[in-house]
Structure 1
Amino acid sequence: MDEESGKVLSQAVLAQRVGWCADLVAGMVSGLLAQRWNPADVEVLASGVDSGGRKLPSNAWMALRRLGWTVAAPEGVRVNDRVVRMAQEQAGRALRSASWRADLTAGVLATWPADPRKRTPGEWEQVRRAVPGGEHLPSGMIKSRTRQVARFLAVHGRLPVDVFELEGVPRVARMLLLAACDRQQASIERSDTDPRRVLLRLQLPTRPDPRTYADWTWVACPIILAPTVPAGAVVHLPTLRVTGRQVHADMAFSHPVPKARRTGHTVALGVDWGLNTLLSAGALRLQEDGRITALGAGGQFRAAGVLAKRPGVGGLRGAALAGPLVR
């Protein structure tokens, strides 16, 4: 509902208005990445300290501001500072994630094998020594990066200089990282009568190119939480993504858990992550006679395919990537 007019917004109109805001943010993110997508700037951000030796804030948008990496909306378009924060947060996360890929790519390039389709044992040792933490890195990641470089070589007839030439400036997703905002842009509260319901309030533009602050109004969006969100959990501002005519809300929450005991456990949970299957997990039980037995067949979480395409309910859907992997 648009709080200023009292008008109930349809699913399509809500998606349109969130999309307008996401487009404004994406435009600023693209500008920032175009300026800072280079080895020097990524290394500065990855160092974790500013020019004066002070530790950079953990929030990406605050770190970028400490470094003086600013961005503004297009001329004639009016956005508040919290919208700029979302752009800086998204760009900062992308730049921070590039640091590890830059080190991996540099190691692969520095030890380019005679036959990229099959490294010799000696070449495997070389590439693992050249990559920070390479001794613990899954071989699949090195192979994947090698294939990517090989495709570049086949097209250009030479190896890329670094990951920045190999990948190019990353594409920008249309999303709103509301976690970078405060109550002047967005707020979220649980319902007093139903703990499964929350109310998200946020400012959205009424046109794709807002000229004044009057072109922004508060919109109230009720969300039904996923069953995996505990009733007593503290919910945090979500990330909004537009998919077609729907708006999806990736919910974040926190809740206390009992302090783990150091000894006396009889059940263990092992979790691994990979490229194709995000998480795989299995549980084991220690029997009284010392035998270790498996509990069921384990579980997997995939963040692609049918899970990514599952339609939401209504105009705004709450999603939570949490919950038991093994029951």
Structure 2
Amino acid sequence: MPRAARMLLLSACDGQQAAIGRVDGTGRALLRLRLPTRPDPRSYGDWGWVSCSIDLPPTVPPDALLHLPTLRLTGGRVRADLAYSHAVPKAARTGHTIALGVDWGLNTLLSAGAVRLHGDGRITALGSGGMFRAAGVVAKQHRLRQQGERLHAKADRYEQLGGGDAGHALAAKLSLLRDELSRVHARRSHLNDGLARAAARWAVDQAVAAGASVIYVEDLRSMEARGMGRGVNTRLSQQVRGQVVERMRHMAAEVGIAVVTVPARGTSKCCPRCLAPLRHRKAPDRPTAAGWKWAVCPGCTWQGDRDQGAWQRIAARGLAHQVTTIRHRTTGRMAVHSVVDRLERRTVVAPAVRGTAGDRSKTGPTRHEPTRPTPGRRRTPSPTRPEGLAGQRPEGHVHTGRDRLLRAARRNQDVTTISTSTTGRHRPRGAALGAGFHHHAHATPPRWGHIPCRTSGPAREQVAGQRR
């Protein structure tokens, strides 16, 4: 049989060999290929056109321009890796009224929220924002980093003992260490790519949900790990902030949202309400946890999570300094390079004004409220049970018309106990052979044997005859 490649790259073909176009009114595309009709084609007559129908996924926009795909043979079927391009709105440099501020953290990788710039220059926060927590991924990165450091130290020691001799006894072990080290590096790279993609998508989705036209991010070059200790410095150096911002720019450009970097000086230090220096302390809900996550303003008495105040300061600074935003000629990246004191005074984030309620003046008598609230369980006595299978189910007792327990309750259960297995080491207290209405709830024993019979006349005689 002739050997054929498992992948066909059609992007290198011209219009005389391959063409693709949409089928009007359907979600399909028609791919036309010019293939040879014989094993040894010698002229144009030995080539013929073959048409292939491709189902387009719903993620492809209707007005997108389709490009020639790459065909792959997978599982006995031909798969098409289709590329397309479509026009997107151009991100504006100025004129923004709603902005999303993004603050960086350690365990909480991103903290973001939206603010609005009103016509009178007042800035208000839209909600309390959100956080992208990546503690599990960061912990795994830390473990991989430690493993890589140990492998590096061990490999360097083997190389030192071997002296570069290929015939040394440790040469084979050194080769295995090098291979394991490359695999650890690949795992770290794959983990960083996935984390950057997820964080960027979360930030862009937050901006789209808030209706923001710009995302303001702290300038990464100004974030230096100085004077924070060896552990914090190492964790900061292992962050994937650069990859997150690059992917954020790429994803935001698709929806016409600008990504602007702003200076990070004083964003976590000053109050978003009055710009006064904050006092940091431990969070009130975690008094035993290390760190200074809570911020309190001694001036305006504002308090909250320091990351929440930071993203408000970042977004407000970006909106106030948007007239100084500079777009790079080559890369097209936008940034605010310096903080202007005159514009910085306008970055005060006012509390959101809630809508006033309607007229609540009293127009009638006040409804009487009982001094004691009505209990959730009614205290009326249970109805009596008539003879026979008919009748109302008494409250709080087992069903009167059931002659046997449920299939799930017949394993090792009775009426007055819980469903606990007795085959293991655990022995439940009290009776261990029973179940109530639920598998883990106690039930009251039936009481229909103590309820007097009130049936009289022919019906009573009929029931007595049935008993006899």
TM-score by length of 1: 0.31
> Higher RCO, 1 or 2 (CA under 8 Å, sep at least 6)?
1
As a proportion of its length, which structure holds more helix? 1
* Higher Rg of the two aligned structures: 2
